[in-house]
A and B are shown apart, each in its own frame.
Chain A
Amino acid sequence: MWSGFFFDGVTAEAKPVQVSLTPATLEVSGLAPGQPASWNLSSLQLVARGNARMDLATGDHPQVRLRVDGADFADALKAAAPELWRPQWRRTGRIVGGLLAGAAVLVAALFYLPRVMVPLISASYAERIGAGVAAQVTTLFGGACNMLAGQAALEELAYGLADEAGLDHPIVIHVVDSRVVNALAAPGGHILVFDGLIQKANSPSEVAGVLAHEIGHVKYKHSLTSLSRSIGAQFILTSMMGGSFGDTSSVLLTTSFGRAAEAEADETAIRILNARGISSEPFAQFFDRLAKGDARTGSDKDDAATEQSNWLKMGNLLSTHPPSPERAALVREKGLVEGTSPMSDSEWRDLKAICETEDDVF
């Protein structure tokens, strides 16, 4: 027998009671008729444990509480209902399992999401997203190059290649004043070519190869797919870990479109180049040089280190377009070895000089 107090959940008044334990129940005596005098041990909940007192609830009567005094009551209750003290591992396991299953479903949805989303995005909306991304990336990397002659030469080349790809919307070419060796396809036909790539190219055919590759990305909307996947990933990560949404446009710079997408773009590029009678060999050589440069830029601290080295690494063609011997081999296997130059010498000179003044023409 222990003494304690019963709280009926109707008022805060404490009613003095006597408490005793049976093998299956806790008996409360001194209650008014109609109040729960017999509590199933299996329904007991531990509210709090203090010094020589214990606060209890029962699942059968959610409003009712009981406080029992006496240091030895805890021991007696522990002997009668040891499961009250045991951690509820089974329940915790169910929660954790459920959460992990939910997370798995989310991740699966993430990979399926672009397939549903991308066809729903209209061409004009994709164009607007692309324009925004292009403007942000351009600003981030030091502005636009717009020497008219060079821009005209590049556009003439690019539009000719795009015609061959059979796009259902026009492309827009941006040249970025940065030493980063890269080109990328933003949504809606916006293609960004970094001056570093133009300077590193040995021939117009090389530039044509890269452009044709990006046009391949445009054709298959890889950029939108990647963007919606990244946004989805960010959303899921945010909801899992907590935190806030970040900037979405830089996503394109850091994520590759994936192996399958690159192969698709390469194949399109070769088809375009072949149709135009442009040799694919310089494009393949460009891959070779990049693969060599990969090892070199890793440790070298030449001019690249001084210029926002982080962005260089992130924006480098190496990260967005991983070069591989197989890709070069594929280009060599399916492309033309000999071909005509897609540009006149004077156009080529103009293109090389596209970033030579920083005046804003527009």
Chain B
Amino acid sequence: METVSSPEEEALPEYGLEFDGSFRGLLPIVLVNLLLTIITLGLYRFWARTKVRKYLWSSVRLHGDAFEYTGTGKELFIGFLIVLFLVFLPMGFAFFQAQIMMETPGREAQGASLLFGAYMLMLYLYGVAYYRRNRYRLSRTRWRGIRGKQREGGYRYGFIHFMLTLVNFMLLGLASPLISNRLWEYESNRREFGTGRFSYKGRAGPLYKPFAIAVFLSLLLIAATVTLIIFVIAAVSGGGGATEWLQQSQANGPKGIYTIVAALFAGYFLVGLAVAAPVLWYQVRQLRHFWGHSRYEGFPLSFHGRFGDIFRLWLGNLGIFIATLGLGAPFMEMRWLRFLVEHTRISGFPALESIGQAEGADPSLGEGLAEGFDLGGI
């Protein structure tokens, strides 16, 4: 029922976001960042990231006016230091302690439960880190001087994420659509821009058909790829099969071992390539579902990206990653942002004078937790 829109909504004009960032514009920033990050043994990365974000945010326009990123490297750095000493140092000690206890006769069980507890805490903190990262970014995003806001600090989100992940684990991942829908709903309904609120009223049900198709296709493609690999091995080893090929290669000494490693790597790569298509297809369906049932101040949002778009994006990013050995990550992020921005629209728009400045104080700290978890993204 929720997909039906009223006639007056259909008559509303559609507004989109524009993106005018370019490789050429980003390149000097990335090069200088790279140099300074190397000089400082990696410590400059917080400022580097900030500069990239400033560029990317300013490349997005709505009604002709640019978005703005107001975060600073210092905030990210201090947030990271705090988390490093308050969370990751004690956690590192707990893991060390658990390791020792598990090797001490009579204390193995204690050690194992400490290790288990530490992993559970990590899982919980992962959700908190994700939420806080998004909250920080939104609070540092301005448009026409008005800033975004994510309500709550993420501890409750972390708990929900934790419980749902455990349930999903027990259900072998079958609850994935349900869980991502619930988490998106939770986050969306606490998202604001200025005094305007986002809301989400989507159900997980419609996601299950594409999810089932994607899982089925993935399994099929994995099976096909593995069969192909087995045939290739058989052909290479003269009909002998994998065991014989392994023996032959091992008999070749170190050179043969390298062959095995390279072949394994190629195999993983092929399987990854095969699974990418259904996964991306599902991802784009999910994006359309999520944004398609989201609203800003009651005005419906929509996402119009298609499988072809996301697949080209992914292939290009893979190419950039390989060609730059991962150093071109900001370019990959820019392509992602462009994809998201260019395909998101809103039907109608609230009266601009009705959107006031967000109330309350900004979160003062950066995304320390997310940094520790290596949560990537822009």
User: A residues bordering B, Cβ < 8 Å?
Assistant: 5, 7-14, 47-51, 53, 55, 57, 63-65, 67, 87, 92, 95-96, 99-100, 102-103, 128-129, 131-133, 135-136, 231, 235, 238-245, 247-249
Contact = CB atoms under 8 A, between A and B. Distances in A.
B36 interface: yes
B145 interface: yes
A51 B25 CA distance: 13
B47 interface: yes
A10 B354 CA distance: 10
B58 A136 contact: no
Contacts of A47: 58, 66, 68
Contact of A55 (B66, B103, B357): B66
A7 B44 CA distance: 33
Nearest to B58: A48
B312 interface: no
Contact of B36 (A7, A14, A96, A135): A96
A92 B374 contact: no
27 contacts: A5-B65, A10-B357, A11-B146, A11-B194, A12-B143, A12-B194, A14-B352, A48-B67, A51-B20, A53-B64, A65-B142, A65-B144, A95-B44, A96-B39, A99-B43, A99-B44, A102-B43, A103-B40, A103-B43, A128-B101, A128-B104, A131-B103, A132-B102, A132-B103, A240-B43, A242-B374, A243-B374
A53 B58 CA distance: 12
Interface string B84-95: 100011001001
Contacts of A10: 356-357
Contacts of A136: 99, 103
A239 B84 CA distance: 7
A11 B357 contact: yes
Given A7-B65, A48-B61, 6 more contacts: A11-B355, A67-B65, A100-B39, A235-B89, A240-B41, A248-B96
Given A13-B352, A95-B73, A96-B40, A245 B92 contact: yes
Interface string B137-157: 000001111100000000000
Interface residues of B, number: 48
Contact of A9 (B36, B353, B357): B357
Contacts of B146: 7, 9, 11-12
A245 B40 contact: no
A241 B42 contact: yes
Contact of A242 (B42, B73, B143, B356): B42
Nearest to B84: A239
Nearest to B371: A242
Contacts of A11: 146, 194, 352-357
Residue among B40, B68, B145 with the highest chain A CB neighbour number at 10 A? B145
Given A12-B144, A13-B352, A242 B100 contact: no
Interface in B114-163: 142-146
Contacts of A243: 374
B261 to A, nearest CB: 14
Given A47-B58, A55-B58, A132-B103, A240 B68 contact: no
Contacts of A9: 145-146, 357
Given A55-B58, A242-B374, A99 B68 contact: no
A132 B194 contact: no
Given A7-B144, A12-B146, A103-B43, A48 B66 contact: yes
Contacts of B36: 92, 96
Contacts of B39: 96, 100
B76 to A, nearest CB: 12
A5 B96 CA distance: 59
B43 A63 contact: no
B59 A48 contact: yes
B103 A50 contact: no
B176 to A, nearest CB: 25
Contact of A249 (B99, B142, B371): B99
Contacts of B58: 47-49, 55
B100 A241 contact: no
Contacts of B89: 235
Contacts of B194: 11-12
Residue among B68, B96, B100, B143 with the highest chain A CB neighbour number at 10 A? B100
Nearest to B39: A96
Given A50-B66, A55-B66, A7 B145 contact: yes
B104 A132 contact: yes
A241 B43 CA distance: 7
- What 9 A-B pairs are tightest by C-beta distance, nearest first? A48-B66, A48-B58, A132-B103, A132-B100, A9-B145, A135-B103, A13-B353, A12-B355, A241-B42
B45 interface: yes
Contacts of B101: 128, 132
Contacts of A247: 99
A307 to B, nearest CB: 14
Contacts of B95: 245
A241 B41 contact: yes
B35 to A, nearest CB: 10
A132 B99 CA distance: 7
Contacts of B68: 47-48, 55, 57, 65
A57 B147 CA distance: 14
Contacts of A249: 99
Contacts of A100: 39-40
B100 A129 contact: yes
Contacts of B96: 231, 248
Interface string B12-55: 00000000100000000000100010011111110100000000
